[in-house]
Amino acid sequence: MDLIGLLKSQFLCHLVFCYVFIASGLIVNAIQLCTLVLWPIDKQLFRKINGRLCYCVSSQLVMLLEWWSGTECTIYTDPRSSPHYGKENAIVVLNHKFEIDFLCGWSLAERLGILGNSKVLAKKELAYVPIIGWMWYFVEMIFCTRNWEKDRQTVAKSLLHLRDYPENYLFLIHCEGTRFTEKKHQISMQVAQAKGLPSLKHHLLPRTKGFAITVKCLRDVVPAVYDCTLNFRNNENPTLLGVLNGKKYHADCYVRRIPMEDIPEDEDKCSAWLHKLYQEKDAFQEEYYRTGVFPETPWVPPRRPWALVNWLFWASLLLYPFFQFLVSMVSSGSSVTLASLVLIFCMASMGVRWMIGVTEIDKGSAYGNIDNKQKQTD
């Protein structure tokens, strides 16, 4: 391991990233709370301000991926489609197999210049998570309970609010509902067999109702669906801990722009269309494992400097008082003070490990458990 690689793996560096993220995130949350007074006065101004505040937080994770880790992502797409990217609203359908697939999606949004306004269909529990969850609440993320009878009205109402959103956005949906594991895949294919649907080798059976209601509510204001199929070279198994340690990965993503008029309006036909889409995605993945490349022309959108500039701004603002505090505690010489400092570091270490742990694949949802199996009726 070289000197830079050794430096990137040190806990002190991770502590700095964690501190800047948490401190800046809480500041952003407080500012977002203050912007609520704008909602009844000028809703569109409220949305624009919160989109930029959201960027202050989410771009820090993109900075870790692109600048700290140096991970590269090559887009394979039709050259006739690339001029549309970043210039229009779009629904993004992304496979959900890797711990950092959401980061790759954010990296794409950052390079297209629309990261701050990106949306996602997320589980409701995330709305209560400090920093990320609170931030998402102010940028009108769509939260669901994964109980369709409860979600139908609330999700549709939230989606309809996005019809007059003032700036371009990507709306990300993981139609599989949870990350791919062999256990979940086995259960998912049993459900597919019971429904008379073709088996998938590299994906879980998509949950179609969330996609169908999204298309229905955003039709006419979202001109296209971006079908994104992600994989990593050389059978890499990327993790958030690896990114934090500065490990470089090489991602390939096949992006197809599908005009909204090609997607059926009828809910049953839309569901059938989505199942066919996942059969095609499965074939693309199979071809990638065989050849190492996706179809179409490779394209690498240029890396923008603003994620790094944003992190440097927050670091310069927050690190001086942080290190001043550490020096004062160490120089005090008090055993109680030093013990408190050790306790703070231990708690910080546990916090970092917890935030990384919640992203691990084997700590995902309960999809595939015996009790949950009965609920996969879509």
Quick one: pLDDT at residue 353? 58
Which pLDDT value is given to residue 291? 94
In a domain, 221, yes or no: yes
Residue 184 belongs to a domain: yes
* pLDDT bracket for residue 376 (50, 70, 90): very low
Task: Dig out the tokens for 272 from the structure.
Answer: 């059938």
Q: In what order do the strands lie in the sheet with 72-77?
A: 142-144, 119-123, 170-173, 90-94, 224-232, 250-259, 72-77, 297-299
Q: Which of 24-33, 35-44, 332-341 has the lowest mean pLDDT?
A: 332-341
Residue 360: its pLDDT value, please? 46
pLDDT at 361 (0 to 100): 42
Position 333 scores a pLDDT of 66
Boundaries of domain holding 33: 3-306
pLDDT over threshold 90, residue 257: yes
Total domains in the fold of the chain: 1
Share of the chain above pLDDT 70, in %: 90
pLDDT-derived band of residue 375, with 50, 70 and 90 as boundaries? Answer: very low
In CATH, what number is assigned to the domain containing residue 48? 3.40.1130
User: In the prediction, which pLDDT does 9 show?
Assistant: 84
171 vs 351 pLDDT, higher one: 171
Pseudo-torsion of CA 34, 122, 95, 367, nearest 10°? 150
pLDDT of the residue at 356: 52
Among the residue ranges 115-124, 175-184, 219-228, 363-372, the one predicted with the least confidence is 363-372
Please compute the mean of the pLDDT values over residues 363-374 and round it to a whole number.
46
The answer to whether the CB of 63 falls within 8 A of the CB of 70 is: no
- Residue 361's CB is within 10 A of a number of other CB atoms, namely 16
**pTM score of the predicted model:** 0.89
pLDDT at 326: 74
Q: What are phi and psi of 225, to 5 degrees?
A: -110, 130
Give domain status of residue 327, yes or no. Answer: no
Q: Decide if pLDDT at 367 tops 70.
A: no
- 186 lies in some domain: yes
86 burial type by CB count under 10 A (0-12 exposed, 13-18 middle, 19+ buried): middle
The answer to whether residue 41 is domain-embedded is: yes
pLDDT digits (tens, 9 = 90+) for 99-111: 899 899 999 999 9
Per-range mean pLDDT, top range of 1-10, 66-75, 362-371 = 66-75
pLDDT in tens, 271-282: 999 999 999 999
- The answer, yes or no, to whether residue 358 has pLDDT greater than 60, is no
Q: Does 106 map to a domain? A: yes
Give yes or no for a contact between 357 and 172, defined as CB atoms under 8 angstroms apart: no
Choice among 14-18, 206-210, 317-321 with the minimum mean pLDDT: 14-18
- Band of residue 122 on the pLDDT scale cut at 50, 70, 90: confident
Contact 250, 233 (CB under 8 A): yes
Q: What is the pLDDT of residues 49-85, one digit of tens each?
A: 999 999 999 999 999 999 999 999 999 999 999 999 9
In the chain, how long is the greatest CA-to-CA distance?
72
Least confident segment among 33-42, 126-135, 330-339: 330-339
Per-residue pLDDT at 348: 62
**Range with the largest mean pLDDT of 78-82, 150-154, 338-342, 350-354:** 78-82
Mean pLDDT of 98-127: 90
312 in any annotated domain: no
Q: Categorise residue 181: left if φ over 0, alpha if ψ from -120 to 50, beta otherwise.
A: beta
Lowest-confidence pick of 218-222, 272-276, 335-339: 335-339
Q: Mean per-residue pLDDT for 3-10?
A: 83
Look at residue 362 and tell me if it is in a domain. Answer: no
